[in-house]
Structure 1
Amino acid sequence: MLKALLFDLDGTLAETDSVHHPTWADLLKPYGYSVDWAFFQERLSGRLNPDIVAELLPDLSEQEGLAMVEAKEADFRERAAALEPLPGLVDFIGWAKGRGLETALVTNAPRENVLAVVRALGLDEVFEPVILADEVGVGKPDPAPYLAALDALGVRAGEALAFEDSPSGIASAVAAGVPTVGVASTHDPGKLGSLGVALVVHDFSDPELEAFVEAR
């Protein structure tokens, strides 16, 4: 029996890649990187900031890397005020809550970004618990964040359903044994469908979604 819905943040609650992309592009341009959309999706989207900096800018000191990450995320938070929920999200969450389902957040994003995004979307009081990769100690695609969410909620993997938009997020949820819905807000639906998801939707207004959840 389904008891909990576990949501990713970036690209799942809102289409944030269109904000992250120019933020990274501006930051990396002085270092010789031309961050087009393909580069962003392949090398940046869904990954942890320290891993990105270590790979792309290995000559930076730890302190310089941290300063870069902090500057990038501060810029993102300023731009995030204009974000809107993915179509159908608010109604879908209300529908799920009305059926007694728990709603949790599982994300690689830093806490300040989480607060900025959920505030911009008007979803401040919706998600409990909020599982942060920073606090778990390892991020997606490792299954640890989803395992931590299951533990916090006291539910088994088969009693939860995850919503993820990126290959790394899907890998995390699937590895934790959580049935997963791929949200094709920015990635190709066919690619997401090949990663072990139970269903692919473009957004939360998809007519298949509620029937799929009710059947769990």
Structure 2
Amino acid sequence: MHDFNFKPKALLFDLNGTMINDMEYHTLAWYSIMTEDLGAALNYEIVKKEMYGKNHEVLERVFGKDKFSPAEIERLSIDKEKRYQECYLPHLALIAGLDDFLERTKAAQIPMAIGSAAIPFNIDFVVDGLNIRHYLGAIVSADDVQISKPDPETFLKAAAALGVAPADCLVFEDAPKGVESALNAGMQCLVLTTTHSLEEFDGYPNILGYITDYNDAKLNLLF
């Protein structure tokens, strides 16, 4: 890690790819809809690159702003989330070591929140399915913000809900757009290497370090 004189007063977690390793299932669900249902000539890697933000933002980036009506976007979004949950449910699990890390953080009286571009339907699926709601002082979802990451609104709202200054928050993220969102919010960041290569994070000055999971001994320096 670059600097661990920093002692956070709150921890903010992205959800997908950060607390659970499920991004493959989101990408597969979108890939199925885009190529099989909508007939787009896209390969898996192209679809993977667009997996950030709200569902309507994903559709607009890939197909253009006026391709679908609001009703069609809603239908496609619901279908995508149902496919994702059906495929991921047998594999639903916290990233290794996170259960113990959440318990230690709670014991240290450091408040925690989720700041995610996921919709409540999916956040509830994970939080209640894994019984971790009691660790969380706040949850900020896609429905709570006007603009998705890399806009800072998600993390700023999470910090405000916990009553902690942005500069005192540490964000856990797995995606460059999420790290950029933390940077725009004035927050330091730890990166989970579950989804993206290290090279994709070049140039972000707010990254304290990288971990593969929550068993990493470097996390002991937080307390």
TM over 0.5: yes
Q: In structure 2, what is the equivalent of residue 38 of structure 1?
A: 45
What's the counterpart of residue 220 of structure 2? 210
> 1:83-104 CA distances to partner (integer Å, 9 max, x unpaired)?
1111111111111111111010
Equivalence for 1:201: 211
CA RMSD in angstroms comes to 1.7
Contact 1:144 1:176 in 2 (8 A): yes
| CA offsets 1:50-90 (integer angstroms, 9 cap, x no match) | 11112223322221122111111122222332211111111
- Tell me which amino acid in the other structure corresponds to 2:140: I
- Between the aligned partners of 2:109 and 2:198, the Cα distance in structure 1 is 30
List runs of 5+ in structure 1 lacking aligned partners: none
Match of 1:172 among 155, 169, 181: 181
Residue 134 of structure 2 aligns to a residue in which SS? coil
TM alignment of 1:8-87, pairs within 5 A: 8-30=14-36, 31-33=38-40, 35-43=42-50, 45-58=51-64, 59-82=67-90, 83-87=92-96
* Deviations, residues 3-56 of structure 1 (Å, cap 9, x unaligned): 21100000000111121121111111132335544223312x222211111222
Shift of 1:161: 0.7
For these two proteins, the number of residue pairs brought into alignment is: 212
* Match of residue 153 from structure 1: 162
Shift in CA distance, 188/204, structure 1 to aligned 2, threshold 3 Å: same
Shift of 1:177: 0.6
2: distance between equivalents of 1:13 and 1:93? 10
Q: Which 5+ residue runs of structure 2 have no aligned equivalent?
A: 1-6
Check the 8 A contact 1:133/1:140 in 2, yes or no.
Answer: no
**Cα 1:37–1:208 shift into 2, 3 Å:** farther
Q: Give the structure 1 partner of residue 4 of structure 2.
A: none
Percent identical pairs in the alignment equals 27
For residues 171-213 of structure 1, the C-alpha deviation after alignment (integer angstroms, 9 at most, x for no partner) is: 11111011110111111123235423111111111121222x1
147-156 or 58-67: which moved more? 58-67
Determine the C-alpha separation between the residues in 1 that align with 2:42 and 2:24: 12
Structure 1 counterpart of 2:193: 184
What is the alpha-carbon distance in structure 1 between the residues aligned to residue 52 and residue 60 of structure 2? 15
What CA deviation, in whole Å up to 9, does each residue of 1:108-153 have, x standing for no partner? 1000100001223332322220011321222111001111111111
Question: TM-score, normalised to structure 2's length?
Answer: 0.88
Question: Structure 1 53/64 Cα, relative in aligned 2: closer, same or farther at 3 Å?
Answer: same
Judged with a 3 Å threshold, the aligned counterparts in structure 2 of structure 1 residues 73 and 48 are, in CA distance, closer, same or farther, namely same
